[in-house]
Amino acid sequence: MAPVIFAGSDGPGVGVPRVNFVAVAILLAAVAVAAFAWQVTGRLVLPTAILGAGLVLMQAPRVAQQWERAVVLRLGRFVGLRGPGLFWVVPFVDRVTAWIDQRTITTSFAAEGAPRTTTFSPSSVQPLPAFFAVTDDGVRS
């Protein structure tokens, strides 16, 4: 799983890939240091090790939007919810399994028609909006 581009909940573009700029910066820094090491030493052993370390380290940073939380598992066990903002995971040990969207979501539904019991009850049924949001994102055992 490459963390540089991952799908997120960005509103209208749900499923559109977005770039993790922190991971790209780590990779570019590793490439620059490896190029410098190659210029200084003239051998490919050290630059190859630096590039390998850069590829592993670029999998560590993750960025959650203000309305998102990430579910992190360490070796299959729940570690916690991370975000919003920049957070780090241990490569090959931690996994982000789900992104929780905490924005308020609205949906409309039709009210059930009830038998008319009084003369003051409305004669027509109007669609009503319902508002809901994640309020408790903790895990209970």
Within the chain, where are the H helices? 21-41, 45-57
Of 4-8, 112-116, 135-139, the range with the highest mean pLDDT is: 135-139
**Contact, 115 vs 102, CB < 8 A?**
no
pLDDT of amino acid 12? 44
pLDDT of amino acid 119? 58
Per-residue model confidence as pLDDT tens digits over 12-56: 445 666 788 999 999 999 999 999 999 999 899 999 999 999 999
Helix, strand, coil percent content, the chain, rounded in steps of 5: 25, 35, 40
DSSP-derived secondary structure for 79-104 = EEEE-SEEEE--TTTEEEEEEEE-S-
Alpha carbons 23 and 4: distance in angstroms, whole number: 6
**Contact, 64 vs 87, CB < 8 A?**
yes
- Number of other CB atoms surrounding residue 73 within 10 Å: 16
